[in-house]
Amino acid sequence: MNQLQQNAAGPVPAIHTLNRRTFMMTTAAGAGAAASAATGTAAETGSAAPPSGAGSHETRVTINGKPHPLKLEPRASLLDVLREQLGLTGAKKGCDHGQCGACTVHVDGRRVASCLTLAVKTDGCAVTTIEGIESADGTLHPMQQAFLDHDALQCGYCTPGQIMAAIACVREGHATSEAQIREYMSGNICRCGAYTGIVEAIREAAPQVLRMEGRMEGRRHA
Ligand code: FES
Ligand code: FES
């Protein structure tokens, strides 16, 4: 398990021991745990514990390439199942109402707000979260690397959702200009206002992401 995976899955080193670069790598890789631990958003620290999503409805979902036979509560959101049942805490709960984009994941390659997606509706689908986009050898996805290179985050809470939306934005062909990127990323809110860096990161990473996706598509049809 590399450092980024450890941070995503478990305790984060005390902030005062981190320099800015280390902190940025931690958050951009989807951990966000440092931010949520430090800031304790209302959604995550509210008095009512979120539902785990466990129930009796049998569902088979492939998550980050691995099949998961699950027994789900029919009204559980995909976000709650990922976070509470599977421990995949990269996708963040911001508004829980489809308004902030912090919970963005991919279902069959398309971006969705996982807080508004019933987990049972993903039966038979492939779900990708921020934890599933780096290479098997631990190399960051080009979009993750570009976010680091452009300091496209401050607290990092919105960053996993921003990165998943950014990859989809490129995939959809909506990253050909700054104006287009701003338009098609407008569903993802950054309360720190890191938008300039986010746009620069997407512009820089777009060609590499398209090449990567082209190679993957070629392999699928080989
Ligand atoms: S938490 Fe899903 S859109 Fe805000
Ligand atoms: S970096 Fe803080 S909310 Fe976006």
Pocket probe mutation, ligand 1, options 100, 112, 117, max atoms within 8 Å of Cβ: 100
Pocket probe mutation, ligand 2, options 104, 191, 198, 199, max atoms within 8 Å of Cβ: 191
Please work out whether the CB of residue 80 comes within 6 Å of at least one atom of ligand 1: no
> pLDDT at position 32, please?
39
> pLDDT at position 83, please?
98
> pLDDT at position 2, please?
37
pTM for the model stands at 0.79
Q: Which residues contact 222 (CB under 8 A, 6 or more apart)?
A: none
CATH second-level architecture of 3-40+137-221? Orthogonal Bundle (1.10)
CA of 159 to the centre of ligand 2 (A): 6
- Encode the chain (222 residues) as per-residue pLDDT tens digits: 333 333 333 333 333 344 544 545 555 554 433 333 333 333 343 334 445 677 888 999 999 999 999 999 999 999 999 999 999 999 999 999 999 999 999 999 999 999 999 999 999 999 999 999 999 999 999 999 999 999 999 999 999 999 999 999 999 999 999 999 999 999 999 999 999 999 999 999 999 999 998 877 666 665
Q: Which atom of ligand 2 is nearest to the CA of 153?
A: 1
CA of 80 to the centre of ligand 1 (A): 11
> pLDDT at position 78, please?
98
Q: Where are the domains of the chain?
A: 3-40+137-221, 46-132
Candidate CATH numbers 3.40.50.1100, 3.90.1150.10, 3.30.43.10, 3.10.20.30; the one for domain 46-132: 3.10.20.30
> pLDDT at position 88, please?
98
> pLDDT at position 42, please?
35
> pLDDT at position 36, please?
37
